[in-house]
Amino acid sequence: MSPTSIQNWPVHILHGAVEPDVIAHIDDLAAAAMEQDGNPPLSEQTLIDLRSGDADAPSLLTLTVFAVQDHADPATGTDLAGVAVVVGSGPEAVLELVVHPNYRDQGVGALLASKLLDVRGSEGVHAWSHGNHEAAAELATQFGYVPVRELWRMRLSRPKNTADSAPVTPGPLPDGVRIRTFVPGTDEAAWLKANGAAFAHHPEQGSMRLSDLHARMAEDWFDPQGFLLAVRGDGSSEELLGFHWTKVHAASEGHPAVGEVYVVGVTPQAQGMGLGKALTVAGITHLQSLGLHAVMLYVDGDNSAAVALYKKLGFTRWDTDVMYAPNPK
Ligand SMILES: CC(C)(COP(=O)(O)OP(=O)(O)OC[C@H]1O[C@@H](n2cnc3c(N)ncnc32)[C@H](O)[C@@H]1OP(=O)(O)O)[C@@H](O)C(=O)NCCC(=O)NCCS
What distance in Å separates the CA atoms of residue 110 and residue 42, rounded to the nearest whole number? 18
Distance 264 CA to ligand 1 centre (A): 10
Residue 61 confidence (pLDDT) = 87
Q: Is 261 in the pocket of ligand 1 (CB under 6 A)?
A: no
Ligand 1: which residue has its CA nearest to atom 43? 265
Nearest CA to ligand 1 atom 26: 305
**Ligand 1 atom showing the smallest separation from residue 297 Cα:** 48
Going by C-alpha positions, the residue among 262, 197, 257 that lies closest to residue 226 is: 262
pLDDT-based confidence at residue 73 (cuts at 50, 70, 90): low
Q: Is 313 in the pocket of ligand 1 (CB under 6 A)?
A: no
Q: Tell me the C-alpha to C-alpha distance, in Å, between residue 266 and each of 8, 162, 195, 243.
A: 52, 33, 8, 7
Which pTM was predicted? 0.84
- Going from the N-terminus, what domains does the chain have, and what CATH number goes with each? 3-143 (3.40.630.30), 153-319 (3.40.630.30)
Residue 299 CA, closest ligand 1 atom number: 48
How does pLDDT run across 31-61, given as a tens digit for each residue?
Answer: 999 989 988 999 988 888 888 766 555 678 8
Q: Sign of torsion, CA 325 99 85 54?
A: negative
Residue 276 pLDDT more than 60? yes
The 10 Å Cβ neighbour count of residue 154 is 21
**pLDDT tens, residue by residue, 125-160:** 999 999 988 999 999 999 999 999 999 999 998 655
Residue of 33 and 6 predicted with greater confidence: 33
Q: What is the pLDDT of residue 216?
A: 96
How many angstroms separate the most distant Cα atoms in the chain? 69
Check if the beta carbon of residue 295 is closer than 8 Å to that of residue 259.
yes
